[in-house]
Amino acid sequence: MHWKASHKQHCVAKADRVPSSQHPEDSDRDAKPSADNMEAKCAICRDLLTGASACTLPCTHVFHSACVAELRKFGVEQACPLCRAFLPPGPEKLFEQATVQYMSVFQMVERGQASWSALPASAQHDLDAAIEGWRAAAKEGILSAQFNLGLLLVQGHGVARSDQEAVLWFRQAADQGLTHAQNILGDMYGKGMGVAQSDTEAVLWRRKAADQGFPEAQYSLALHFSNGRGVAQSDTEAVRWLTKAADQGNDEAQAWLGSHLSSGRGVAQSNVEAVRWWKRAADQGNAEAQNNLGNSFEIGRGVAKNYESAARCYKKVANQGNALAQCTLGYLYVKGNGVEQDYLKAAHWWQKAADQEVSEAEVHGSPISRWPWCATKLSGGSAPLSKGS
C-alpha cells in the first residue's frame, strides 16, 4: 500500500537518495550475498538472501527473484524498490530478446557466412547485446540465461574465454537444481577447468544431477565408482548407475554395461545380456558396442555364430576409423568369412589400421586375438603395424 497509495508522503526526496553503501544502518538489507556476508536480507520481505534465490538488479541492489516478480505484478517494474533506478523489462523478456539476437548470429555461423573468431561488426554488435541481455536476466535468476552464459564463456564464441567466470554462472544455475549445469560443473571440477581439480567435488555435483535422473551424470558417476575417483571403488555401484543411464538410452552406458556383463564385473556374468545391451548401443552408432557385437557374432558368444553379421558390424566401425575393426575386417577378407575373399581389400583395411600407427601393446587385452597375425601378414615380420608397411 505504501508503494501504491502513499509513497510520496514517506519516501525521502530524490535529491537526498544515495547508494545504500553510504548508509551503514541499511547495509544489512541491500548488500550482495557473498562468502563474507552471509546475513544479507531482501529489503522487500526481510528474509535472508541466498545465492540460489537472489537476483541483482542493474542498480546492483539484491532482492529475492520471487519478490521482484511479485512487484512487477503490481505494476512497479519501472523502478528499484530502494533507489528508484529504472528497471528494464522483466528477466524473461530480457532472456527472450537476447536469445533472438544470439540465434541470428548463431545461424550466420552455422551457414558458413561468418566464424566465431571473425564476426562482422553488425553480428558482433548483436552478440554483445545478447550477452548483455543474458547477463541481466542471469542476475535476476533466469536459469537458462545463467547456463547459456556459462557455455558461451567456456567455448569462447564471440567473447573472451573464461572458465573461471563460466564456473560462477554454472554454479548459480546448479544451485537452483539445473541438471545440465550440475553435470557440467562436475566435469569442470573433474578436469580442473576454472577451479582447483577435485574428484570429490566432481562426484558431489554429478550425483546431484544423477539423483534427478540425468543420464550423462549417471554414466559419469559410474566411471567414478569404477575407477575409485572421489569415492570408494565399487563395481557394484558402477553397474547400478550404468543401468540407470542405459535404461534411459545412453549409448556409452549401454556399451559399458555390456562389457561388465560379459566379464561378470560387478554383476552376474551373462553373454546373452551383454549382447542385448551391445545391440542397443550399436543401433545408436556406438563404435565400441558395434565392435564387441561383431566379435560376438564372429565367435558365437551370447548369440549364434554369424560371419555375415560380424562383417556388417566390423564395417560400420571400420568406416568410423577404428583400427581394431579395420584389422579384423582385413582378416575376414583374407579368410572369406562373411565376405567374399579379397586380398586387396584385406590389404586396404590393414593399411588404414597401419596408418594410425596402432601398436600391439595399445590393443593388449582386446577381444581381437589375431592382431599379431594381421601385423605379421602386413609387415612381413613380428613388428607392430606402422605407416608405410
Mean pLDDT of the chain: 82
- Check whether 189 has a pLDDT greater than 70: yes
Specify if 194 maps to a domain. Answer: no
- Structural domain boundaries, residue 52: 29-87
What does the alpha-carbon distance between residue 167 and residue 334 come to, in Å, rounded to a whole number?
A: 54
Least reliable range by pLDDT among 87-101, 227-241, 323-337, 355-369 = 355-369
Please determine, for residue 342, whether its predicted confidence score (pLDDT) is greater than 70. yes
Mean pLDDT is lowest, of 111-120, 243-252, 371-380, for: 371-380
Cβ burial, residue 1 (10 Å; 0-12/13-18/19+) = exposed
Report if residue 337 sits inside a domain.
yes
Per-residue model confidence (pLDDT) at position 234? 96
pLDDT in tens, 143-174: 999 999 999 999 998 889 999 999 999 999 99
Domain count, the chain: 2
Domain end position, chosen among 87, 119, 137:
87
Asked, for residue 146, whether it belongs to a domain, the answer is no
**CA-CA distance, 69 to 57, in Å (whole number)?**
12
Cα-to-chain-centroid distance, residue 100: 23
pLDDT at 251 > cutoff 70 = yes
Structure confidence at residue 200 as a pLDDT band (50, 70, 90): very high
Helix axes 251-263, 287-299, angle to 10 degrees: 40
Select from 63, 87, 111 the last residue of a domain: 87
Task: Give the burial class of 291: count Cβ atoms within 10 A of its Cβ; 0-12 exposed, 13-18 middle, 19 or more buried.
Answer: buried
**Residue 344 domain-assigned?**
yes
- Amino acid 40: pLDDT: 79
> Can you tell me the mean pLDDT for 191-201?
96
Question: Is the pLDDT confidence value at 386 over 50?
Answer: no
- CATH number at 68 reads 3.30.40.10
Res 123: pLDDT:
92
Query: What is the Cα–Cα distance from 140 to 238, expressed in whole angstroms?
Result: 39
Residue 310, domain member (yes or no): yes
Which ranges of the chain would DSSP assign to H, the alpha helix? 7-10, 27-30, 65-73, 91-110, 121-139, 143-155, 163-175, 179-191, 199-211, 215-227, 235-247, 251-263, 271-282, 287-299, 307-318, 323-335, 343-355, 371-379
Task: Give yes or no for a contact between 119 and 101, defined as CB atoms under 8 angstroms apart.
Answer: no
Cα–Cα dist 203/142, whole Å:
25
**Residue 378 is assigned to a structural domain of this protein:** yes
Q: How confident is the model at residue 361 (pLDDT cuts 50, 70, 90)?
A: very low
Q: What percent of the chain shows pLDDT beyond 70?
A: 78
C-alpha cell at 160: 573472451
- Does residue 358 belong to any structural domain of this protein? yes
More confident residue, 218 or 329: 218
Boundary-marking domain end, from 47, 69, 87: 87
Domain membership flag for residue 272 = no
Eight-class DSSP state of 79? B
- Of residues 39 and 375, more confidently modeled: 39
Q: Would you give the DSSP letter of residue 231? A: S
Kindly report which listed range (177-191, 236-250, 256-270, 315-329) carries the lowest average pLDDT score: 315-329
Residue 36's pLDDT is what? 42
Residue 12 has a pLDDT of: 56
